[in-house]
Structure 1
Amino acid sequence: MLAADAGTYSIWLIILLSMGQLIGCSAPVRAPVVSRDHPPAQQRSARPSTYHVQRGDTLYSISWRFGIDYASLASWNGIRYPYTIYPGQKLRMAPTGRRWAVKNYPTKTPQTQVAAGSDKSVASDKTVSRSVSKGVSSSQDEEKISSISLKLQWLWPTKGSVVQRFVKGDPMRKGVKIEGRIGEPVNAAESGKVVYAGSGLIGYGRLVIIKHNKNYLSAYGYNKKIHVKEGDTVKKGIRIAEMGSDGNGKPVLHFEIRRNGAPVDPLKLLPRHP
């Protein structure tokens, strides 16, 4: 009798285990949800040992993309102001422990000097302040920008509510997102020089980067239209772009501030939100 009961128990145990395996195999597998807003962290650009300049690159856009201080990148490659680079040029992306001679490139037209290429969607704006007069040398221009006080007086770049905050160390939250309306003016948060205007950096849409002094840069992403071009000197509060939408169709401005190549919390530098 006991043997029969044991046999029956074993049969039922085998049946239950088989049913569990079938249920497990038939359970649906959920695909990971990835926002189109930014590329996944593992797909974001890892810093290579060398980089070949592409059309549309500038020294500033390359340093921004890989989180490097632009001055360091220039130093590693012996490039001096105005940091002219060319398509196909090979850049070292880390210090090598040896000194490199400063490269003196031949004088070219302003169009060639500005960048390796530019975005055709960028439009000029008569409201942009071109305070750097004709005839002023590049070195004098650089000295003028670098002499600006480190204590910058930031303004909010646009109207709207902060819908995403900065998180230190999070590659997906290097700045803040300000929700507003499509076409809302995007203004320069501080005076400076436009060092990038285009759409070559993945995850930012149409992007403007402004250099404020030798330490600080600010960036304005997801623009519908850009109203400045590389090389323009802009005053604080001047319209530089129009708000567009992120990868999910939400009307927002992505705003970043970086000090010596590292992202900092914009909310600690901006005045109290109006």
Structure 2
Amino acid sequence: MAKGFRRFACAALVALLAACGSAPVGPGFYRVERGDTVSKIARSNRQSVSNIVRWNNLPNPDSIEVGQVLRVAPPGGSSASAQRTAPRQDTADSASTAAAPASSISLIWPTTGQVVRNFDGRDSKGIDMVNSAGTPIVAAAPGTVVYAGNGLRGYGNLLIIKHDSEYLTAYAHNQALLVKEGETVTQGQKIAEMGSSDSDRVMLHFELRYQGRSIDPARDLPPR
């Protein structure tokens, strides 16, 4: 069971954090490399930018991530030639229609403290909150712990919770982890204590991922 969850956690890390990897991808897909842009990928695969944006539900075609896997061929049942010759659409319009997830998740704030950095989708993939060391960190929603450790550089002591087939949350820089991989947690359950592991200050870095893409947690958090 432990080995099974370890393998599942590794897969969750790839999906959640878009870590750079070299695992092969299937036909019709492409793994983003450093220096890639949507325009470059589209040209290389003889597709339009609007097709790449639409097939991958990209909220912002200018902020793809190294390691992200993109569909570069029409989904099954589509005509490749028709897709390639389709009129180009305005990229901004295409991105805006794909920005909102098809579903939502009800979150609570994972800790107390001052928000010092908000999500912007480029330099910040989540929310940073500061408080004193040992401040309780709670699960923002019910789910299963799929990763608990410090093996990902830049995140310190990290927890990842899988909530359903679409949503994951991550809690980074903790001084103590209070739950283990494979453990089921309830919303509001204390799961960690705030710390400064792999950080220059005591803080919580909190991320929300939808189908592997970082999205703004504020859209699903209650007003403060």
Please say if residues 219 and 256 of structure 1, whose CA atoms lie closer than 8 Å, have aligned partners that are also in contact.
Answer: yes
After TM superposition, the structure 1 = structure 2 runs for residues 139-154 of structure 1, keeping only pairs within 5 Å, are 150-154=103-107
Query: What is the aligned partner in structure 1 of residue 13 from structure 2?
Result: 61
Cα drift, residue 59 of structure 1: 1.4
Query: What is the aligned partner in structure 2 of residue 161 from structure 1?
Result: 114
CA distance in 2: counterparts of 1:269 and 1:62, whole angstroms: 23
Q: Which amino acid aligns with 1:95?
A: G
Number of residue-to-residue matches in the alignment? 146
Cα drift, residue 247 of structure 1: 4.6
CA distance in 1: counterparts of 2:221 and 2:158, whole angstroms: 20
CA distance in 1: counterparts of 2:131 and 2:8, whole angstroms: 29
Please say if residues 147 and 158 of structure 2, whose CA atoms lie closer than 8 Å, have aligned partners that are also in contact.
Answer: yes
Q: Deviations over 1:11-44 (max 9, x none)?
A: xxxxxxxxxxxxxxxxxxxxxxxxxxxxxxxxxx
CA distance in 2: counterparts of 1:187 and 1:93, whole angstroms: 36
CA distance in 1: counterparts of 2:207 and 2:24, whole angstroms: 22
CA distance in 2: counterparts of 1:269 and 1:177, whole angstroms: 16
CA distance in 1: counterparts of 2:19 and 2:212, whole angstroms: 6
Does 1:224 find its partner at 2:224? no
After TM superposition, the structure 1 = structure 2 runs for residues 168-179 of structure 1, keeping only pairs within 5 Å, are 168=121, 170=122, 172-179=123-130
Query: What is the aligned partner in structure 1 of residue 61 from structure 2?
Result: none
Task: Tell which structure's C-alpha radius of gyration is larger.
Answer: 1
TM-score by length of 1: 0.49
**Closer/same/farther in 2, CA of residues 62 and 161 from structure 1, 3 Å limit:** same
Please say if residues 179 and 252 of structure 1, whose CA atoms lie closer than 8 Å, have aligned partners that are also in contact.
Answer: yes
Please say if residues 186 and 243 of structure 1, whose CA atoms lie closer than 8 Å, have aligned partners that are also in contact.
Answer: yes
Please say if residues 217 and 258 of structure 1, whose CA atoms lie closer than 8 Å, have aligned partners that are also in contact.
Answer: yes
Q: What is the SS of the residue equivalent to 2:128?
A: strand
Cα drift, residue 249 of structure 1: 3.1
Identity %: 40
Query: What is the aligned partner in structure 2 of residue 188 from structure 1?
Result: 139
Q: 1:94 aligns with which of 22, 25, 42?
A: 25
Please say if residues 154 and 199 of structure 2, whose CA atoms lie closer than 8 Å, have aligned partners that are also in contact.
Answer: no
Q: Which amino acid aligns with 2:106?
A: Q
CA distance in 2: counterparts of 1:246 and 1:225, whole angstroms: 9
CA distance in 2: counterparts of 1:251 and 1:198, whole angstroms: 18
After TM superposition, the structure 1 = structure 2 runs for residues 243-254 of structure 1, keeping only pairs within 5 Å, are 243-245=194-196, 247=198, 249-254=200-205
Q: Deviations over 1:169-222 (max 9, x none)?
A: x1x300010111100010000000101111111111010000011000000000
Cα drift, residue 57 of structure 1: 6.3
CA distance in 1: counterparts of 2:222 and 2:125, whole angstroms: 19
Query: What is the aligned partner in structure 1 of residue 207 from structure 2?
Result: 256
Q: What is the SS of the residue equivalent to 1:213?
A: coil
CA distance in 1: counterparts of 2:177 and 2:196, whole angstroms: 13
Query: What is the aligned partner in structure 2 of residue 201 from structure 1?
Result: 152
Q: Which amino acid aligns with 1:202?
A: R
Cα drift, residue 246 of structure 1: 5.7
Cα drift, residue 251 of structure 1: 1.2
What RMSD over aligned residues (CA atoms) do the two structures have, in Å? 2.6
CA distance in 1: counterparts of 2:182 and 2:9, whole angstroms: 14
Runs of 5+ consecutive residues of structure 1 not aligned to the other structure: 1-53, 69-89, 99-149
CA distance in 2: counterparts of 1:91 and 1:248, whole angstroms: 27
After TM superposition, the structure 1 = structure 2 runs for residues 8-19 of structure 1, keeping only pairs within 5 Å, are none
**Closer/same/farther in 2, CA of residues 176 and 152 from structure 1, 3 Å limit:** same
CA distance in 1: counterparts of 2:7 and 2:222, whole angstroms: 38
